Amino acid sequence: MKSEYRINDQHLMQFVRAIWTHAGSTPLEAERIADHLVHANLAGHDSHGVGMIPTYMISLTQGYLQLNQHARVVRDAGAILTLDGCKGFGQVVAKEAMALGIERAQQFGIAAVGLHNAHHIGRIGYWAEQCARAGFISFHFVNVVGDPMVAPFGGSDRRFGTNPFCAIFPRAGKKPLLLDFATSGIAFGKTRVAYNKGKTVAPGYLIDSQGQPTTEPKVMHEAPYGALLPFGLHKGYALATMCEILGGALSGGRTTHDETLQTCHEAIFNCMTTVIMNPAAFDAPAMQDEADAFISWVKQSPKSGEEEIHIPGEWEETNRAERLTKGIPVDTTTWQQICQAAQQAGMSQGELADFNALIS
Ligand X SMILES: NC(=O)c1ccc[n+]([C@@H]2O[C@H](COP(=O)([O-])OP(=O)(O)OC[C@H]3O[C@@H](n4cnc5c(N)ncnc54)[C@H](O)[C@@H]3O)[C@@H](O)[C@H]2O)c1
Residue numbers at the binding site for ligand X (CB under 6 A): 45, 47-48, 120-125, 142, 144, 162, 164, 166, 178-182, 186-187, 190, 270, 310, 312-313, 315-316
Q: Which is nearer to ligand X, 70 or 175 (CB)?
A: 175
Q: Which is nearer to ligand X, 82 or 143 (CB)?
A: 143
Q: Which is nearer to ligand X, 159 or 190 (CB)?
A: 190
Q: Which is nearer to ligand X, 103 or 317 (CB)?
A: 317
Task: Write down the least CB distance from residue 134 to ligand X, Å.
Answer: 19
Q: Which residues does 123 contact at the CB level (< 8 Å), separation at least 6?
A: 36, 39, 40, 43, 45, 48, 49, 180
- C-alpha–C-alpha distance, residues 120 and 94, integer Å: 10
Q: Which is nearer to ligand X, 43 or 112 (CB)?
A: 43
- The per-residue b/e assignment along 62-79, b for 16 or more CB within 10 angstroms, e otherwise, is eebbebebebeeeeeeee
DSSP 43: T
Task: Write down the least CB distance from residue 167 to ligand X, Å.
Answer: 9
Q: Which is nearer to ligand X, 49 or 101 (CB)?
A: 49
Q: Which is nearer to ligand X, 271 or 338 (CB)?
A: 271
- C-alpha–C-alpha distance, residues 271 and 71, integer Å: 12
Whether 252 and 114 have beta carbons less than 8 Å apart is answered as yes
Task: Write down the least CB distance from residue 343 to ligand X, Å.
Answer: 26
- C-alpha–C-alpha distance, residues 171 and 162, integer Å: 29
Task: Write down the least CB distance from residue 125 to ligand X, Å.
Answer: 5
Instruction: Count CB neighbours of 224 within 10 A.
Output: 8
Distance in Å from the first CA to the final CA of the chain: 12
- Report DSSP letters for 124-182, one per residue: HHHHHHHHHHTT-EEEEEEEETT---BPPTT--S--B----EEEEEEETTEEEEEEEE-
Whether 116 and 85 have beta carbons less than 8 Å apart is answered as yes
Three-state DSSP class for residue 7 = strand
Task: Write down the least CB distance from residue 188 to ligand X, Å.
Answer: 7
Q: Which is nearer to ligand X, 75 or 310 (CB)?
A: 310
Whether 93 and 70 have beta carbons less than 8 Å apart is answered as yes
Task: Write down the least CB distance from residue 168 to ligand X, Å.
Answer: 9
Q: Which is nearer to ligand X, 17 or 48 (CB)?
A: 48
Task: Write down the least CB distance from residue 354 to ligand X, Å.
Answer: 31
Task: Write down the least CB distance from residue 251 to ligand X, Å.
Answer: 14
- The per-residue b/e assignment along 251-277, b for 16 or more CB within 10 angstroms, e otherwise, is bbbbbbeeeeebeeebbbbbbbbbbbb
CA dihedral 75, 272, 246, 154 (to 10 degrees): 150
**Cα of 100 vs its chain's centroid, Å:** 20
Task: Write down the least CB distance from residue 138 to ligand X, Å.
Answer: 13
